[in-house]
């Protein structure tokens, strides 16, 4: 036993202990560095298929929508059954071929939109196609006066909210041409600026307009606007 190499055994045990400690420390450090490199090098995580029942808790909330006038479909109002207006409306078909109460209001809506936009843009060709001569003369006079004063019109027709029948004439024998009055409710931003850029008419605020327009059929079956006024 006196010749047993205790010093060699001691050094061997010490070497095993030191080697194990070094391997343990270096191994964990290398693993962490490898994971960090993989994470940084991937700009986007892989898209995994969504599992049934998975929640969207991490999904960001939607952006707020712009605040303004809520867009809705135009409403078309028909007179109540049994009223004198409803009875007159039913007789329009006897003097105007192919008349449809619903379609007429849609056509009136289109004519209203085209007319107010043409008036704002001073488009006399469009106005001539939809206005009766007397109304066209009145509109043209206003446009010419604005041009002389170097005024500029701004108009945004945001929404036509509703159209209702309000009057019907000319459906009885000897009454003259058939004329249909319609109330039109719209929302517009409409104003006029002079040459100094000062608003001289209207407002920049969104405003409700209530108009009463009267329509009359032409010989070719189309309709023309024979009167306009605020309602």
- CATH of residue 188: 3.10.450.240
pLDDT over threshold 80, residue 176: yes
Number of compact structural domains in the chain: 2
- For residue 21 the two structure tokens come to 């400690």
Task: Name, in order, each residue with C-beta under 8 angstroms of 197's C-beta and a sequence gap of 6 or more.
Answer: none
What per-residue confidence (pLDDT) applies to 190? 95
SS3 call for 216: strand
Q: pLDDT-derived band of residue 115, with 50, 70 and 90 as boundaries?
A: very high
Q: What is the pTM of this model?
A: 0.69
Q: In terms of C-beta distances under 8 Å and separation of at least 24 residues, what long-range contacts does 205-208 make, across chains too?
A: 206/68, 206/69, 206/158, 208/161
Contact 109, 77 (CB under 8 A): no
Domain shared by 109 and 181, yes or no? yes
End-to-end CA distance of the chain: 125
Range of the domain at 144: 75-230
Mean of pLDDT values over 171-199: 93
Is 155 or 39 the better-scoring residue by pLDDT?
155
pLDDT digits (tens, 9 = 90+) for 18-64: 666 544 444 443 333 333 333 333 344 444 445 554 444 444 444 44
Residues 96 and 175 in one domain: yes
């Amino acid at each position: 036993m006196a010749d047993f190499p205790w010093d060699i055994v001691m050094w061997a045990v010490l070497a095993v202990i030191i080697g194990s400690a070094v391997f343990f420390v270096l191994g964990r450090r290398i693993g962490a560095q490898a994971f960090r490199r993989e994470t940084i090098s991937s700009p986007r995580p892989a898209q995994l298929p969504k599992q049934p029942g998975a929640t969207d808790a991490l999904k960001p909330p939607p952006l707020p929508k712009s605040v303004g006038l809520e867009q809705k479909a135009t409403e078309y109002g028909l007179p109540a059954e049994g009223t004198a207006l409803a009875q007159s409306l039913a007789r329009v078909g006897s003097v105007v071929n192919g008349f449809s109460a619903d379609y007429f209001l849609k056509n009136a809506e289109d004519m209203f939109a085209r007319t107010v936009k043409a008036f704002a843009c001073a488009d006399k060709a469009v106005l001539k196609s939809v206005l009766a001569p007397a109304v066209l003369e009145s509109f043209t006079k206003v446009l010419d006066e604005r041009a002389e004063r170097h005024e500029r019109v701004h108009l945004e027709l945001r929404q036509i909210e509703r159209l209702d029948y309000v009057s019907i004439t000319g459906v009885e024998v000897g009454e003259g041409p058939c004329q249909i009055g319609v109330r039109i409710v719209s929302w517009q931003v409409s104003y006029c600026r002079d040459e100094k850029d000062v608003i001289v008419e209207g407002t920049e605020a969104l405003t409700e307009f209530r108009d009463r327009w009267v329509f009359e059929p032409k010989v070719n079956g189309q309709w023309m606007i024979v009167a306009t006024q605020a309602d």
